[in-house]
Amino acid sequence: MGDQSAIDEVWSRLRPAGRPSGVDATSAAVRDAVRAGLLQAAVPLALAALRADPLAEVGADELAAALRTRGWDGDEIAAETLLAARSGTPTGRTEIVADLEMLGDVIGQQLGGYLELATGESWPTSIFDDGGLEDVDDDEFESDRWMDVPGDSREAWKDMADFAAAVEDDHVREVLQVAIEGRGAFSRFKSALDRHDTYWGDWHVWSSERQLGRARDWLATEGFDPQP
The rounded distance, in Å, linking the Cα atoms of 143 and 104 is 22
Give this prediction's pTM. Answer: 0.91
Any idea where the domains of the chain sit in the sequence?
Answer: 4-92, 93-228
The rounded distance, in Å, linking the Cα atoms of 149 and 113 is 5
Residue 132 has a pLDDT of: 56
Full DSSP string of 126-154: HHHHTT-STT--GGGGGSTTEEEE---HH
pLDDT beneath 50, residues of the chain: none
Contacts of residue 85, defined as CB under 8 A and 6 or more positions apart, other chains included, come to 47, 50, 51, 54, 60
